Amino acid sequence: MIPIADPELGDEEIEATVACIEDGQLADGPEVRAFEEEFAAFCDADFGVAASNGTTALHAAFAALDIGSGDRVVTSPFSFVASANAIRLAGAEPVFADVDPETFNLDPYAAEEAVREHDADAILAVHLYGLPAEMDHLGDIAETHDLALVEDAAQAHGAEYDGRKVGSFGDAACFSFYPTKNMTTGEGGVVTTDRSDVADRAASFVNHGRPMGEGGCSSYDHVRLGHNFRMTSVAAAIGRVQLSRLPRYNEARRTNAGYLTDRLRDSSVRTPFEPDDRRHVYHQYTVRTDDREGLRSHLEEEGVGTGVYYPTPIHEQPAYQHVDHDAPVAERASREVLSLPVHPGLSGDDVRTIVSAITSYE
């Protein structure tokens, strides 16, 4: 079976992990500070704050931006539930605006309508599947209405909008390093920002509300309410190795995606759309089909793994039944999307098998 994901970890990650164990500093420490600095530099951002996962990174970003009780955050209903959960965990309420039918990302026109209707306080732009959202337009909306702008870049490490890497827009951006992402730390997350005040408050929030000091938060003073959302040194050590490989990983994903798009162009599935001003990093290669269950069953028989991200829009989840919504584009997408393997571990035979399996179903 060709898997939908295949994390690549090897001798360098093992050596980095062993070095952490032998050093004895397993929790927060210099390895985490180094990873924060290196990842922020990769994103062309001034600051990075590591967290235990992508959800806690989002929660920390909202706390650092003082988004909480009584606030409303406009976001996409077509994402992993963590996007909306982090808003609610921070004490705010999500307002769902529909998505663009070609990119699956937040539709700026729907977002601005939601901002006006609900007197929103922030926008959370999700870069779904590795494709950046329309940041120029969303940034203009945030500036016009004096809103905080946060990027959910959990699936978009190294993606670019108009030549700028995601993670360098708005007030803060948040990444996940779950094993299936374009790079991994096992579990982990990071907040990137150009604002020193946001970085300081986020770093304090993930470490029990301690104040920032030289090299991190180390005192037993607690100046604000916070959590233990720290990244471990072992995770950071793995992340530093993975970050060095991320450009190669992303190029492999783009190469595999290009092959699939070229050879599936005349097939019954609709291949992903990449606007000219964006650089997709294909966390997922997601097609649309009118016969998802039939095609998925056929691909399984042909030895091709698939995934559905996401079968239920967030606003239709039981935990969100209280939220008003109108998102027909997202609802239709949830019935049609199917993700195919695109990861760097695919061989030439693998991608040819994927194409053959799809075209033979027609």
CATH 3.40.640.10 in the chain: give the residue spans: 11-241
Question: To 5 degrees, how large is the angle CA 282–CA 283–CA 284?
Answer: 80
Task: Count Cβ atoms within 10 A of the Cβ of residue 268 and give its class: 0-12 exposed, 13-18 middle, 19 or more buried.
Answer: middle
pTM for the whole structure: 0.96
Instruction: Compute the distance between CA of residue 131 and CA of residue 129 in angstroms, rounded to an integer.
Output: 6
CATH fold group of domain 11-241? Aspartate Aminotransferase; domain 2 (3.40.640)
Q: Where in the chain is the domain with CATH 3.90.1150.10?
A: 247-361
Per-residue pLDDT of the chain (362 residues; tens, 9 = 90+): 999 999 999 999 999 999 999 988 888 889 999 999 999 999 999 999 999 999 999 999 999 999 999 999 999 999 999 999 999 999 999 999 999 999 999 999 999 999 999 999 999 999 999 999 999 999 999 999 999 999 999 999 999 999 999 999 999 999 999 999 999 999 999 999 999 999 999 999 999 988 876 555 567 888 888 999 999 999 999 999 999 999 999 999 999 999 999 999 999 999 999 999 999 999 999 999 999 999 999 999 999 999 999 999 999 999 998 887 789 999 999 999 999 999 999 999 999 999 999 999 97
What is 247-361's CATH topology?
Answer: Aspartate Aminotransferase, domain 1 (3.90.1150)
